[in-house]
Structure formats: structure tokens, C-alpha cells
Amino acid sequence: MKTLDDLIAEGVAGRRVLVRADLNVPLDGETITDDGRIRAALPTLQALTGAGAKVVVAAHLGRPKGAPEPRYSLAPVARRLGELLGADVALATDVVGESARATVAGLADGGVALLENVRFEARETSKDEAERSALADEYAALADAFVSDGFGVVHRKQASVYDVAAKLPAYAGGLVLAEVDVLKQLTGEPARPYVVVLGGSKVSDKLAVIESLLPKVDAILVGGGMCFTFLAAEGLGVGDSLLEAEMIDTCKRLLADNPGKVLLPADVVIADEFSADASTHTVLAANIREGWKGLDIGPITVERYSEVIAGAGTVFWNGPMGVFELAPFAEGTRGVAQAIVDSPAYSVVGGGDSAAAVRQLGLPEDGFSHISTGGGASLEYLEGKQLPGVAVLGA
Ligand SMILES: Nc1ncnc2c1ncn2[C@@H]1O[C@H](COP(=O)(O)OP(=O)(O)O)[C@@H](O)[C@H]1O
Ligand SMILES: O=C(OP(=O)(O)O)[C@H](O)COP(=O)(O)O
């Protein structure tokens, strides 16, 4: 696999280099609430601009449905990236159209341009290889070389991550190399007990991961939006909480086949609406009211999970335990994160929102052995799956 260092050694002055980065940051309106992923992208971008490349950055924000949507524009990201680089970052108003071509053509040596959200193009995430390949040809026409540096998205077989790498000389960026290097340590012989803490809102993605992780780990502590499908599998009512109804049978089977290994919340914080001003109650998991939604794990659960974490040799955590962005639902995430900080275990936290939670809740970043920019990507790596965006580089 060729790397960024190889590309720079080959000489990039005046050459156009397309960098796929993961700049999928949390936003409150147009305000970036955590710029960790933008900061993580800087070393690769600076190495290229320092060597005189014309840098074209491709990135996504959120999950727009294949058409432009103003609220998913990368405009706030372009502004922040410019501030951090100390140079203007020109934002194209389209992905591979006239604006993208003109913006790239206008780049000076050492300059940086950002394409608009790649998911404004339906072909980016298409399941049809020919469609993705056609879009990848259009990306390739904008550059002379490709650097894959969006670790958080390398588990996606998407045009700007996977297909374009076959169309241009392709190189692994420094962030992707560093992340894979750290995660490798968890796939060898992790210190036992090996505990995985799973939460967040990408429920269907992650329920699929649990099955392959179960044989590798000693315990999985479930919280966040994930837990309600499991609670439903135990026959409990979950009100209006997040639920993947078609996964209930899978969860039943996982619980039955792995007794004692999947821990579920004993209590939860329920709310009558998804808002910081909602009425809330902390109830036993068996008492979730009809019409209410579970938005955090409760204190009994935090205590139980903290005990397990205190005895762990290795902890991997992805996904907040609750809607930590809203103060009434932040305590579960804070409590579990604090337990990881306090434990002597080798600990990795992964995911855009999980890493943001660590910083926003004021936990010490050095309380974790590693903070990864990728949640789903880390999980799939730990499952033992090939990451398409890395495999395509020849790894
Ligand atoms: N019980 C819940 N109901 C709805 N959303 C939740 C719940 N618990 C956590 N979340 C949300 O999950 C989001 C993060 O999920 P996810 O993207 O899977 O994590 P990460 O980015 O760390 O991989 C946060 O925005 C948080 O508000
Ligand atoms: O936020 C991301 O992943 P994560 O929540 O698993 O860390 C990445 O930007 C990938 O986004 P996606 O899950 O919409 O493909």
C-alpha cells in the first residue's frame, strides 16, 4: 500500500491531489459544536500544501438523500477549515459540476478547495457499481492523485471513498494509517476482560455488528438508542423510544445464545418530548410509559456499567449512552465516560459524537488511550471485516 509519504516523495508541487476526508462534524444550526474531525484532517492537508500540491478535499456531512439540502452544506466546515489552516478554502457549490471544475482550475499551488457535500450526488452512495464508477470518473477528472484520509468513512463502499481509488494513483493518508495502527492492538490479544460499550443512534448499523463482536469480547454494555430494541426483545414496552422492530428477533436470539454477555439498562430517563425542556422521569426499564421516549440510561445502570468497566483490561466505547447534547440526558454518557477515564484499562473511544461528548462534557482526553475519529469504521475493523476504503488501497 502506498502512503502519503510516498506521494510527497514522488513530488506533488503543482499537482492536483484529491483528499477524501471525514469532516462530518456535529452542528447546531450553522455552528460547529465540535471541530475534532476537522483538526484531525489538518496534518495530511498541511503536508500536501507544504509540498506545493493543489489540494481538493471531498467530504460528506450528515445523510442527505442524494440531492442538495442547504442544512447539509459544507459551508461552515469550509470556514472552519480555512481558520485552522490560516488560508482561504474555496467551497464549490456543487460536487463535480461546473463550480467544482472552476474552483479546482482556480487553485494556486499550496491552495485548498472543498467540494460541496458528496452526498448531494445520489451516485455517491448508490448500490449500483456502474453509477458509482461514473461519478468516480468525474472525481478523477478533478485530480492527478487520490489520498484516502477519511478514516470515519472507510467502512463505506461509496464513490469518493472506494471507487475513485481505482481511478487514480491512490495513497493512504496519515490519519487512516494511524487509526488502523492503534486498532490493530485490539484485534491481537487484548487484555481481558475485553468490554465493549455501545450506544448512539445508528441502531441498525450497530445491531449488525454486535453478532460478530460477541465471540471476541467478554461483555457488551448497551445504552443509547441501541438498547430499546433489546429491551423490546425482553418483552418490555419501550413507548416512543428508538426501535428497530425488524431486529427484535435477532436481539432475542443474541440474548438467548449469549447468556450474561449482553448487559442492558436497568433504568432509563424518559421524556415526553425530544427537548431540553421536556418533562422527565427516571424509571425502571420495565416501566417505560406509553407515549414517552427513553433518552438516557439511568443512575442504577451507570453504577452497574461502571463496575464492569472498573474490572476491565480493555474497553472499546462507541456511541453516547443518551442524548448528551441536551443537559437532562447527558448524565449517563458522563458517568460511563468517567468510569472509563478512572479505569486502568486500555481504552479506545470511537465515533464523531462519542469523541465530541468526551470533549463537551469536559472529560480529560488523556483519560483514554486513544480517541478515534471513526465509530462505525472502528467497529467494523474490530469485527474483523475488511474496510473497503482501506482494502482498495492494496492493504
Ligand atoms: N436514547 C437515544 N435516543 C435517541 N438518540 C440517542 C439516544 N442516545 C443517544 N442518542 C444520539 O446518538 C447520537 C450519536 O450516535 P452515533 O452517530 O451512533 O455515535 P457516534 O457518532 O459516536 O458513532 C447522538 O447525537 C445522541 O444524541
Ligand atoms: O459519523 C460517521 O460515522 P460514526 O458515527 O460511526 O463515527 C462517519 O462520518 C460516517 O458517516 P455515515 O455513518 O453517515 O456513513
Can 376 be counted among the known catalytic residues?
yes
- Say yes or no: CB of residue 117 within 6 Å of ligand 1: no
CA 272, CA 293: separation in Å to the nearest integer? Answer: 7
Say if CB 293 and CB 325 are below 8 A apart: no
Question: pLDDT tens, position by position, for the chain (395 residues)?
Answer: 999 999 999 999 999 999 999 999 999 999 999 999 999 999 999 999 999 999 999 999 999 999 999 999 999 999 999 999 999 999 999 999 999 999 999 999 999 999 999 999 999 999 999 999 999 999 999 999 999 999 999 999 999 999 999 999 999 999 999 999 999 989 989 999 999 999 999 998 898 899 999 999 999 999 999 999 999 999 999 999 999 999 999 999 999 999 999 999 999 999 999 999 999 999 999 999 999 999 999 999 999 999 999 999 999 999 999 999 999 999 999 999 999 999 999 999 999 999 999 999 999 999 999 999 999 999 999 999 999 999 999 96
**351: which 3 cell numbers?**
465515533
**Residues in a beta bridge with 220:** 196, 262
Single out the residue of 16, 96, 1 nearest to residue 53, CA to CA.
16
Centroid of ligand 1 to alpha carbon of 295 (angstroms) = 9
- Supply the pTM of this predicted model: 0.97
Catalytic residue among 54, 167, 202, 293: 202
Sheet holding 89-91, edge to edge: 89-91, 112-114, 54-58, 16-20, 145-148, 170-172
Domain 192-344 in CATH 3.40.50.1260:
yes
Strand intervals (E) in 33-84: 54-58
Say if CB 109 and CB 52 are below 8 A apart: yes
| Ligand showing the shortest atom-to-Cα distance for residue 321 | 1
Ligand 1 probe mutation, 61, 275, 353, 371, most atoms within 8 A of CB? 353
Q: What contacts 283, CB < 8 A, 6 or more positions away?
A: 267, 268, 270, 289, 298
Can 184 be counted among the known catalytic residues?
no
The annotation status of 261 as a binding-site residue, yes or no, is no
Centroid of ligand 2 to alpha carbon of 279 (angstroms) = 31
Strand intervals (E) in the chain: 16-20, 27-28, 31-32, 54-58, 89-91, 112-114, 145-148, 170-172, 194-198, 219-222, 262-263, 267-271, 280-284, 293-297, 314-318, 346-350, 370-372
Largest Cα separation within the chain, whole Å, is: 64
Centroid of ligand 1 to alpha carbon of 239 (angstroms) = 18
Can 202 be counted among the known catalytic residues?
yes
Say if CB 161 and CB 187 are below 8 A apart: no
Residue 203: its H or E element? helix 203-213
Can 261 be counted among the known catalytic residues?
no
- Say yes or no: CB of residue 319 within 6 Å of ligand 1: yes
Amino acid at 44: T
| Ligand showing the shortest atom-to-Cα distance for residue 152 | 2
Delimit the domains of the chain by residue range: 4-179, 192-344
Centroid of ligand 1 to alpha carbon of 30 (angstroms) = 20
- Say yes or no: CB of residue 64 within 6 Å of ligand 2: no
Single out the residue of 42, 212, 152, 87 nearest to residue 375, CA to CA.
152
Centroid of ligand 2 to alpha carbon of 152 (angstroms) = 6
Residues shown for the chain: 395
The annotation status of 385 as a binding-site residue, yes or no, is no
Catalytic residue among 332, 335, 352, 375: 352
The annotation status of 199 as a binding-site residue, yes or no, is no
* CATH C-level class of 4-179: alpha beta
**Residues in a beta bridge with 57:** 19, 114
The annotation status of 88 as a binding-site residue, yes or no, is no
Distances from the Cα of 253 to the Cα of 194, 210, 249, 262, angstroms: 22, 12, 6, 12
